[in-house]
């Protein structure tokens, strides 16, 4: 069988898609390889969210031209959001591409790939097999219609759950999708076009997936959705999976005092879902979710979070701007005041430093959105100071063809101003992050150990590029090794150093913590475990601490 190299760009959704695709291809007998130069098939799972994200893929495809001239039998595929957005144009511009598959059609990838591999062999160099599966016009089907014909659900359901490997270095964190697509149509954003309409997965499928991951040794699950807290599954609306109608049973959360009350089987809300996973999968030690939308966030969700000890005190809740005028032009559907009120409410429910559980927040901001004045920008600075994110992703506005902002709102903030605001905001956030770090010194937190620290990897001559962090090369237990940074260091033939080995993990609030293990063997034994670490210092983006006796 042909060997496949799969590289991932973009968001966690894409990382999960790549994992599912890699697992499916492995089940079908393909070998997954880390070596792009020797692979029979090169697949890029791509992102379209900003121009820069696409540029990376264009240049990668450019590099492949020479390789393909040398090995005409090689198959090149573009998966994900860029395939969906650029469609046939992409193949015209890059004849090196043999197949394309949008994120909504990944269940068809095995067939496409099979076809491409067969036809490539019989084609002359330079000719294109032109195979593609894109949602195209179907992408705006209604949620109900889409759910009724949801073949994509089969891909999630086909997830490989093989047992963990011998030395315990398998994956302990996993993503589980709860919602596909997005219905928000923020004016700058391509996601509703590339991922299609919002479809909520049946709660029964989600809970079973969580259970099976926990059975396979996973201790931390992150639920995924573009507006994850918008989850809502209406029972009774028939859901067909693989031609079979699947009746869904669920329960409705009726507040803290009626936990066990079944209220018919009508609707499962996000609060119900969180509660059900927490109760039904006790082996799961950490449950998180991203990305939250600042609206649609009821007290019911906050109550479940507060009352469920294994749900993390962490919210990624992007504001995008600190100006009401800009938020309105972005079609975000909330004001700065409403956003800050939400943060206050979340803190009232969840910020409990006195019991060692402070609430940690992270955000996203776009600077230089059309019409953003100095005053608008000052509003964003003020918002960051009030929100006090532990970290915040800051992006310069990138006009995306096909979006409302691209068509109707001229991109009038000069590049130099965007850059200046971007740099300034990064420094504002760095100061906030630093202050939050200092507040943690002296605290002891349970830390889930992920792998060797960057510093340790560097000391071993492993650069970030060597580790290919976003490359799905090998799967263990159906899970990508790449999502557990540092574990791959095992494969480098490195002779263990005597003395301490620095490892990295995360707190429940998603703070990064480094600490020393006594040896390689000790480090290995800690990976995937939750251990108490006392924070001793804070710098930059991470904390340093000392392992306490468990
Ligand atoms: N669903 C999530 C975000 C998904 S996209 C949410 O609504 O919060 C991830 C981030 O990319 C966004 O939060 C936004 O900050 C950024 N982004 C999206 N489109 C962009 C664009 N055209 N230019 C710059 N940044 C963009
Ligand atoms: Fe894009 Fe807005 Fe949907 Fe987030 S909520 S994916 S920013 S359209
Ligand atoms: Fe990018 Fe698509 Fe995710 S555009 S951010 S890969 S949903």
198-208 pLDDT, tens digit each: 999 999 999 99
How far does residue 100's CA lie from ligand 3's centre (Å)?
16
Do 119 and 38 share a structural domain?
yes
Question: For residue 262, how many C-alpha atoms fall within 13 Å in the half-sphere facing its CB?
Answer: 5
pLDDT in tens, 383-396: 999 999 999 999 99
Q: Which of 113, 136, 159 is the last residue of a domain?
A: 136
Residue 435 has what pLDDT? 96
* 170 in a structural domain: yes
State which ligand 1 atom lies nearest to the alpha carbon of 226: 1
Do residues 399 and 355 lie in contact, with contact meaning Cβ atoms separated by under 8 Å?
A: no
Tally of domains in the chain: 3
Residue 31 has pLDDT above 50, yes or no: yes
How far does residue 158's CA lie from ligand 1's centre (Å)?
30
Considering only CA atoms, which of 293, 152, 144 is closest in space to residue 225?
A: 293
Is ligand 3 within 6 A of the CB of residue 16? no
Residue 143 has pLDDT above 80, yes or no: no
Between strands 360-367 and 314-316, the pairing is parallel
Residue 456 has what pLDDT? 86
Cβ neighbours of residue 53 closer than 8 Å, sequence gap 6 or more: 9, 10, 46, 47
Interval 162-182 mean pLDDT: 71
Three-state secondary-structure class, residue 71: coil
State which ligand 2 atom lies nearest to the alpha carbon of 49: 1
Query: How confident is residue 152, by pLDDT bands cut at 50, 70 and 90?
Result: confident
Residue 1 has what pLDDT? 87
Do 153 and 106 share a structural domain?
no
State which ligand 2 atom lies nearest to the alpha carbon of 331: 2
Query: How confident is residue 158, by pLDDT bands cut at 50, 70 and 90?
Result: confident
Task: Report the residue among 49, 85, 399 best suited for mutation to probe ligand 1: largest number of ligand atoms under 8 A from its CB.
Answer: 49
Do 210 and 280 share a structural domain?
yes
* 123 in a structural domain: yes
Residue 245 has what pLDDT? 47
Q: Which residue has the higher pLDDT, 360 or 240?
A: 360
Do 456 and 316 share a structural domain?
no
Do 453 and 436 share a structural domain?
no
Is ligand 2 within 6 A of the CB of residue 227? yes
* 153 in a structural domain: yes
Interval 260-287 mean pLDDT: 86
Q: Which residue has the higher pLDDT, 239 or 73?
A: 73
**Nearest-CA residue for atom 5 of ligand 1:** 49
* 470 in a structural domain: no
* 475 in a structural domain: no
Considering only CA atoms, which of 364, 351, 361, 366 is closest in space to residue 387?
A: 361
pTM: 0.89
Query: How confident is residue 241, by pLDDT bands cut at 50, 70 and 90?
Result: low
Residue 128 has pLDDT above 80, yes or no: no
pLDDT in tens, 403-461: 999 999 999 999 999 999 999 999 999 999 999 999 999 999 999 999 998 888 888 87
Q: What's the gap between Cα 16 and its chain centre?
A: 7
For residue 331, give the DSSP letter. Answer: T
pLDDT in tens, 210-229: 999 999 999 999 999 999 99
Residue 240 has what pLDDT? 53
Interval 7-32 mean pLDDT: 94
Q: Which of 82, 115, 136 is the last residue of a domain?
A: 136
Do 190 and 130 share a structural domain?
no
As given in the structure block, the two tokens for residue 173 are: 């964190």
* 399 in a structural domain: yes
Is ligand 3 within 6 A of the CB of residue 486? no
Is ligand 3 within 6 A of the CB of residue 81? yes
Cβ neighbours of residue 348 closer than 8 Å, sequence gap 6 or more: none
* 284 in a structural domain: yes
Task: Report the residue among 48, 296, 318 best suited for mutation to probe ligand 1: largest number of ligand atoms under 8 A from its CB.
Answer: 318
Most confident stretch, 18-27, 122-131, 473-482: 18-27
Do 421 and 379 share a structural domain?
yes
**Nearest-CA residue for atom 19 of ligand 1:** 189
* Crossing angle for the helix pair 270-280 and 203-215, to the nearest 10 degrees: 30
Do residues 132 and 83 lie in contact, with contact meaning Cβ atoms separated by under 8 Å?
A: yes
Query: The domain spanning residue 105 has which CATH number?
Result: 3.40.50.12160
Q: Beta-strand (E) ranges in 181-332?
A: 199-200, 220-224, 232-234, 239-241, 244-246, 267-269, 286-290, 314-316
Between strands 530-539 and 444-452, the pairing is antiparallel
Do 353 and 274 share a structural domain?
yes
Residue 359 has what pLDDT? 98
Do 37 and 155 share a structural domain?
no
Query: How confident is residue 361, by pLDDT bands cut at 50, 70 and 90?
Result: very high
Residue 249 has what pLDDT? 38
Point out the ligand nearest to the CA of residue 53.
Answer: 3
Question: What residues are paired with 100 via a beta bridge?
Answer: 78, 132
Interval 43-53 mean pLDDT: 97
Residue 171 has what pLDDT? 74
* 476 in a structural domain: no
Residue 489 has pLDDT above 50, yes or no: no
- Least confident range of 192-196, 425-429, 495-499: 495-499
Interval 154-158 mean pLDDT: 84
Cβ neighbours of residue 507 closer than 8 Å, sequence gap 6 or more: 360, 445, 446, 447, 513
Query: How confident is residue 495, by pLDDT bands cut at 50, 70 and 90?
Result: low
Three-state secondary-structure class, residue 338: helix
Residue 497 has what pLDDT? 62
Residue 320 has pLDDT above 70, yes or no: yes
Q: Over the chain, what is the mean pLDDT?
A: 86
Q: Which residue has the higher pLDDT, 120 or 502?
A: 502
**CA–CA separation, 278 vs 257, rounded Å?**
16
Q: Which residue has the higher pLDDT, 345 or 549?
A: 345
Query: How confident is residue 119, by pLDDT bands cut at 50, 70 and 90?
Result: confident
Interval 331-350 mean pLDDT: 98
Q: Which of 136, 163, 183 is the last residue of a domain?
A: 136
Do 7 and 96 share a structural domain?
yes
Do residues 128 and 97 lie in contact, with contact meaning Cβ atoms separated by under 8 Å?
A: yes
Do 229 and 310 share a structural domain?
yes
Do 130 and 223 share a structural domain?
no
Residue 136 has what pLDDT? 64
Q: Which domain holds residue 425?
A: 147-440
Question: What percentage of the chain exceeds 90 in pLDDT?
Answer: 71
Query: The domain spanning residue 364 has which CATH number?
Result: 3.80.30.20
pLDDT in tens, 92-116: 999 999 999 999 999 999 999 999 9
Query: How confident is residue 131, by pLDDT bands cut at 50, 70 and 90?
Result: confident
pLDDT in tens, 167-176: 334 578 999 9
């Amino acid at each position: 069988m042909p060997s496949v190299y799969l590289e991932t760009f973009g968001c966690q959704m894409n990382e999960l898609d790549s994992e599912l695709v890699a697992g499916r291809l492995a089940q079908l007998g393909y070998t997954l390889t880390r070596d792009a130069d020797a692979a029979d098939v090169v697949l890029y799972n791509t992102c379209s969210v900003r121009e820069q994200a696409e540029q990376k893929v264009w240049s990668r495809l450019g590099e492949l031209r020479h390789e393909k001239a040398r090995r005409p039998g090689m198959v090149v595929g573009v998966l994900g959001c860029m395939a969906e957005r650029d469609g046939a144009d992409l193949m015209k511009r890059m004849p090196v591409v043999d197949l394309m598959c949008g994120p909504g059609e990944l269940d068809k990838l095995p067939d496409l790939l099979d076809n491409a591999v067969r036809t490539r062999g019989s084609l002359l160099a330079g000719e294109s097999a032109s195979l593609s599966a894109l949602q195209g016009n179907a992408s705006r089907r209604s949620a109900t219609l889409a759910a009724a014909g949801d073949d994509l659900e089969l891909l999630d359901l086909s997830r490989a759950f093989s047992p963990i490997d011998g030395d315990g270095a398998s994956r302990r964190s996993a993503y589980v999708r709860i919602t596909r697509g997005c219905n928000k149509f923020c004016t700058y954003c391509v996601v509703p076009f590339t991922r299609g309409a919002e479809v909520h997965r049946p709660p029964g499928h989600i809970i079973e997936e969580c259970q099976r991951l926990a059975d396979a040794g996973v201790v931390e699950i992150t639920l995924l959705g573009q507006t994850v807290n918008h989850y809502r599954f209406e029972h009774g609306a028939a859901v067909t999976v693989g031609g079979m109608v699947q009746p869904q049973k669920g329960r409705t959360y009726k507040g803290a005092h009626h936990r066990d009350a079944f209220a018919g089987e009508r609707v499962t809300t996000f609060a119900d879902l969180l509660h059900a996973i927490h109760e039904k999968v006790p082996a799961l030690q950490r449950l998180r979710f991203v990305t939250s939308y600042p609206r649609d966030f009821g007290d019911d969700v906050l109550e479940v979070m507060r009352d469920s000890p294994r749900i993390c005190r962490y919210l990624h809740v992007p504001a995008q701007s600190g100006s009401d005028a800009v938020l309105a032009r972005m079609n975000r559907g909330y004001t700065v005041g409403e956003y800050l009120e939400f943060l206050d409410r979340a803190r009232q429910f969840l910020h409990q430093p006195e019991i060692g559980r402070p609430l940690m927040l992270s955000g996203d901001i776009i600077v230089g959105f059309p019409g953003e004045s100095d005053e608008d920008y000052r509003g964003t600075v003020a918002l960051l100071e009030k929100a006090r994110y532990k970290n915040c992703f800051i992006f310069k506005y990138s006009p995306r063809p096909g979006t409302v902002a691209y068509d109707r709102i001229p991109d009038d903030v000069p590049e130099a101003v965007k850059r200046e605001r971007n740099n300034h905001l990064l420094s504002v956030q760095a100061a906030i992050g630093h202050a939050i770090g200092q507040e943690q010194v002296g605290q002891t937190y349970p830390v889930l150990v992920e792998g060797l620290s960057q510093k340790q990897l560097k000391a071993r001559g492993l650069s970030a590029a060597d580790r290919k962090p976003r490359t799905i090369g090998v799967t263990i237990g159906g899970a990508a090794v790449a999502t557990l940074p540092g574990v791959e260091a095992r494969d480098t033939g490195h002779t263990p150093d005597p003395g301490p080995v620095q490892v990295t993990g995360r707190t429940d609030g998603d703070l990064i913590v480094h600490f020393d293990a006594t040896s390689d063997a000790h480090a290995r034994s800690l990976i995937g475990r939750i251990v108490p670490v006392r924070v001793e210092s804070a710098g930059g983006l991470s904390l340093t601490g000392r392992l306490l006796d468990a």
